[in-house]
């Protein structure tokens, strides 16, 4: 029962980390390697607002979301737009930006154990005999909420439909009067905000450390590759797959192997079924 | 530009006459043309060989050695990325494998460095190639992602299993006999591999490599096994990386998890982008520029990673051709304004 409950929580946490990456790649085909950096950055911005400026917690999370969204848009508008379509340059540019953010934070003194965000609600609740703290319940609730909201957003709003149109066929979308650059900009902003939101909910569970930026990036990529790049349903399913696999390895092998699971998942997926569980691309053209 | 009454001009680039004349065998007929071909190469060779002699003090001589090791890594990245189309974000993987093998052979079998370095190069390249073999069918983003993971995970496995010295690393590795041997060994290795890879990409095998990059389906349609050729290229590239790692271990007299650090992955990429991608000389040039700057910034700690990440972004986004391509163009061509 332990495994089931903590596996579910871990899976939803993974899905939260990965959704932003999956969304940006699915819509604008830009692999945002700065994803992990944005996740950590949002944690530190919230911390700074909370502790140095004394802004109330809920408000500081809100401000962080807005700032992070703007950051995503700025990154796209001034950097990534110029290299769009060149896979190598996209990877190098976004990875270098992520590196600059993370190492800049480290240089700026944001390291050590002293950076923690308070949990939203103190205390814990007993779920079928196992104590689960409220923060983890918030993670589960918010994870489900985000998936539902995203689904509704992409099916019922104008921008959401345009985004989906671009994800399916960029040229056809262009012909129908959808500005692909603006849509990519929007997707990048939303993706960054999702990363920031994931940071805001998940970071209170532990310390904010710069290294987690790299881990989040790896996990997000692992989830997206196993699920099939560009497929959100696949990403959610893959999050459950990897989430449970991780919990099982932690229980039976030890916590050192958590990251190894992610890499093995990537390698096995790429060898056995390169387009992932729900990949939308043709295998030969895109990957192999 | 749009208004009609002013005359419009455009830049026209033409090859210099001497370039055209020295393209063929006729270059052998005149000293001038010969010099046109040889002088740039000589400047690089002589420059590299003289560099250790003019450096003030042992510290900067050590920097030259580090420059050369990064140059090997950058060469390996450039070769794989721009002649095979495989973007390898994990140069640290090669460094780590080569370094650990050299350190182990040296500390447990007490082989001298002159023996462990070649052994680590060959054995390390074989191991790296075997480990990367399953990923070779991938390309583009996918290969980049997988190679990014390798060094991170290998470091974690070493940490978790506590093998090869665990987090402490392997101490007490022998150094080279003396500093001059060390410097001239790495400098001549860089020159050897630089001109070696330049030759390699122009022989038949290199043509197949470039064909794999441009259109691998066409290569497959011609009845050639793409993965086989990719494996050969990965072997060559990882041999360069492992060689760099092995030399590094003997210079620092220590092997540890920091061999898998990001520095070894990102700085060569930055050097390649700055120096000029796809020229093979460019990465070496980029290292000669970047590594000393990075040494000067050492006191700022991780700020130097920020610094060269930003340089990298700037060059990728705004000046993607790099210094060497620019220099080559100025050397071979002149430009003038002509009326449209």
Q: Do B37 and B87 fall into the same domain? A: no
Q: Using the predicted structure, report yes or no on whether residue B242 has a pLDDT greater than 90.
A: yes
Optimal mutation site among A88, A102, A217, A225, interface B, most CBs of chain B within 10 A: A88
Q: Using the predicted structure, report yes or no on whether residue B189 has a pLDDT greater than 60.
A: yes
Residue A215: inside a domain, yes or no?
no
Residue A65: inside a domain, yes or no?
yes
Q: Do B49 and B183 fall into the same domain? A: no
Q: Using the predicted structure, report yes or no on whether residue A60 has a pLDDT greater than 90.
A: no
Nearest chain B residue to A266 by CA distance is B146
Task: Give CA separation, B63 vs A182, B90, B112, B192, in Å.
Answer: 47, 23, 23, 20
Residues spanned by the domain of B43: 12-54
Sign, CA dihedral A54-A55-A58-A63, equals negative
Considering only CB atoms, B142 lies closest to which of A83, A93, A287, namely A287
Considering only CB atoms, B309 lies closest to which of A88, A96, A214, namely A96
B320 touches chain A (CB under 8 A): yes
Residue B150: inside a domain, yes or no?
yes
| Residue A154 C-alpha, separation from nearest chain B C-alpha, in angstroms | 26
Task: Give CA separation, A98 vs A23, A72, B86, in Å.
Answer: 18, 12, 22
Q: Do B22 and B111 fall into the same domain? A: no
Nearest chain B residue to A211 by CA distance is B152
Which residues in chain A have their CB less than 8 angstroms from residue B152's CB?
Answer: 214, 218, 259, 263
Q: Do B96 and B26 fall into the same domain? A: no
Considering only CB atoms, B146 lies closest to which of A106, A214, A270, namely A270
The residues that bridge with A125 in the sheet, in sequence order, are A132
Considering only CB atoms, B266 lies closest to which of A88, A99, A287, namely A99
Interface subset of A 215-274, CB within 8 angstroms of B: 218, 221, 225, 229, 254, 256-257, 259-260, 262-263, 266-267, 270-271, 274
Contact A43, A65 (CB under 8 A): no
Q: Using the predicted structure, report yes or no on whether residue A151 has a pLDDT greater than 80.
A: yes
Q: Do B43 and B102 fall into the same domain? A: no
pLDDT digits (tens, 9 = 90+) for B246-299: 988 888 888 888 888 777 888 888 888 888 888 888 899 989 888 888 888 877
User: Residue A67 region, left (φ>0) first, then alpha (ψ -120 to 50), else beta?
Assistant: alpha
Q: Do B169 and B257 fall into the same domain? A: yes
Rounded Cα distance, B51 and A209, in Å:
42
Give the residue among B63, B79, B95 at the shortest CA–CA distance from B247.
B95
Helix (H) or strand (E) holding A125: strand A124-127
Q: Do B317 and A91 touch (CB under 8 A)?
A: no
Q: How many domains does chain B have?
A: 2
| SS3 category, A116 | strand
Q: Which pLDDT band holds residue B328 (cuts at 50, 70, 90)?
A: confident
CATH number of the domain enclosing B218 = 1.10.3470
Residue B339: inside a domain, yes or no?
no
Average pLDDT over residues A225-246: 82
Residue B334: inside a domain, yes or no?
no
- Count of residues making up chain B: 340
Q: Which pLDDT band holds residue B338 (cuts at 50, 70, 90)?
A: confident
Considering only CB atoms, B316 lies closest to which of A93, A107, A260, namely A93
A164 touches chain B (CB under 8 A): no
Residue A175: inside a domain, yes or no?
yes
CA atoms in the 13 A half-sphere facing the CB of B314: 9
B288 touches chain A (CB under 8 A): no
Q: Do B248 and B117 fall into the same domain? A: yes
Q: Do B230 and B88 fall into the same domain? A: yes
Average pLDDT over residues B43-70: 86
Q: Do B172 and B76 fall into the same domain? A: yes
Q: How many domains does chain A have?
A: 1
Helix (H) or strand (E) holding A163: helix A158-168
Q: Do A91 and B89 touch (CB under 8 A)?
A: yes
Residue B1: inside a domain, yes or no?
no
B189 touches chain A (CB under 8 A): no
Average pLDDT over residues A237-263: 82
Contact A237, A37 (CB under 8 A): no
Q: Do B178 and B44 fall into the same domain? A: no
Q: Do B36 and B124 fall into the same domain? A: no
Residue B312: inside a domain, yes or no?
yes
Q: Which pLDDT band holds residue B195 (cuts at 50, 70, 90)?
A: very high
Considering only CB atoms, A88 lies closest to which of B81, B266, B317, namely B81
Residue B279: inside a domain, yes or no?
yes
Give the global pTM: 0.82
Q: Using the predicted structure, report yes or no on whether residue A70 has a pLDDT greater than 80.
A: yes
Residues spanned by the domain of A86: 2-209
Q: Do B30 and B108 fall into the same domain? A: no
Residue A85: inside a domain, yes or no?
yes
Residue A196: inside a domain, yes or no?
yes
Q: Which pLDDT band holds residue A235 (cuts at 50, 70, 90)?
A: confident
Which residues in chain B have their CB less than 8 angstroms from residue A214's CB?
Answer: 152
Q: Which pLDDT band holds residue B123 (cuts at 50, 70, 90)?
A: very high
Residue A153: the pLDDT is 85
Nearest chain B residue to A25 by CA distance is B141
Residue B276: inside a domain, yes or no?
yes
Residue B162: inside a domain, yes or no?
yes
Optimal mutation site among B302, B303, B319, interface A, most CBs of chain A within 10 A: B302
The chain-wide mean pLDDT, for chain B, equals 84
Residue A59: inside a domain, yes or no?
yes
Q: Which pLDDT band holds residue B95 (cuts at 50, 70, 90)?
A: very high
């Amino acid at each position: 029962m332990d495994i089931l409950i903590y596996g579910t929580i871990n899976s939803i946490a993974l899905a939260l980390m990965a959704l932003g990456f999956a969304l940006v790649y699915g819509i604008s085909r830009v692999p945002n390697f700065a994803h992990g950096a944005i996740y950590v950055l949002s944690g530190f911005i919230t911390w700074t607002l909370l502790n140095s400026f004394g802004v109330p917690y809920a408000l500081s999370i809100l401000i962080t979301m807005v700032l992070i969204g703007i950051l995503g848009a700025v990154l796209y508008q001034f950097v990534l737009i110029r290299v769009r379509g060149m896979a190598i340059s996209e990877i190098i540019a976004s990875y270098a930006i992520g590196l600059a953010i993370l190492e800049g934070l480290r240089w700026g003194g944001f390291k050590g154990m002293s950076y923690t965000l308070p949990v939203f609600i103190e205390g814990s609740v007993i779920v079928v005999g196992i104590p689960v703290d409220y923060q983890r319940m918030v993670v589960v609730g918010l994870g489900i909420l985000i998936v539902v909201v995203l689904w509704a957003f992409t099916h019922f709003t104008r921008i959401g439909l345009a985004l989906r149109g671009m994800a399916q066929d960029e040229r056809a979308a262009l012909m129908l009067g959808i500005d692909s650059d603006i849509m990519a900009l929007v997707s990048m902003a939303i993706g960054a905000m999702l990363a920031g939101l994931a940071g805001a909910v998940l970071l209170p569970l532990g310390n904010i450390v710069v290294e987690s930026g790299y881990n989040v990036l790896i996990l997000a990529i692992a989830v997206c590759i196993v699920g099939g790049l560009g497929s959100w349903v696949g990403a959610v399913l893959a999050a459950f797959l990897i989430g449970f696999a991780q919990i099982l390895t932690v229980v039976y092998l030890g916590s050192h192997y958590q990251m190894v699971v992610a890499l093995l998942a990537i390698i096995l997926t790429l060898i056995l079924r390169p387009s992932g569980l729900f990949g939308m691309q043709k295998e030969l053209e895109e990957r192999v | 530009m749009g208004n009609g009454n002013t005359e419009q001009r455009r830049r026209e680039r033409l090859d210099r006459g001497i370039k055209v004349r020295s393209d063929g065998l006729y270059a052998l007929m005149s000293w001038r043309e010969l010099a046109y071909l040889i002088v740039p190469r000589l400047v690089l060779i002589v420059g590299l060989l003289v560099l250790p002699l003019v450096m003030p003090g042992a510290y900067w001589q050590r920097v030259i050695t580090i420059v050369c090791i990064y140059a090997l890594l950058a060469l390996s990245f450039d070769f794989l990325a721009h002649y095979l189309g495989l973007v390898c974000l994990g140069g640290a993987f090669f460094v780590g494998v080569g370094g650990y093998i050299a350190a182990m052979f040296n500390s447990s079998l007490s082989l001298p460095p002159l023996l462990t370095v070649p052994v680590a190069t060959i054995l390390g390249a074989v191991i790296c190639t075997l480990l990367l073999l399953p990923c070779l069918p991938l390309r583009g983003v996918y290969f980049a992602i997988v190679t990014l993971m390798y060094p991170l995970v290998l470091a974690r496995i070493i940490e978790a299993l506590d093998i090869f010295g665990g987090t402490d690393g392997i101490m007490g590795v022998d150094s080279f006999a003396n500093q001059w041997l060390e410097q001239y060994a790495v400098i001549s290795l860089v020159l050897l591999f630089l001109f070696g890879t330049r030759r390699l990409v122009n022989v038949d095998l290199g043509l197949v490599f470039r064909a794999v990059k441009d259109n691998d389906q066409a290569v497959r349609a011609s009845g050639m096994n793409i993965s086989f050729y990719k494996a050969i290229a990965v072997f060559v590239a990882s041999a360069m990386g492992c060689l760099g790692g092995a030399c590094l271990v003997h210079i620092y007299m220590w092997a540890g998890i920091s061999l898998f650090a990001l520095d070894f992955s990102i700085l060569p990429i930055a050097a390649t982008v700055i120096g000029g991608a796809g020229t093979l000389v460019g990465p070496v040039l980029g290292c000669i520029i970047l590594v000393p700057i990075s040494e000067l910034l050492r006191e700022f700690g991780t700020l130097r990673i920020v610094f060269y990440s930003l340089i990298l972004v700037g060059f990728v986004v705004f000046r993607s051709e790099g210094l060497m391509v620019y220099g080559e163009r100025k050397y071979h061509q002149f430009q003038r304004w002509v009326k449209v």
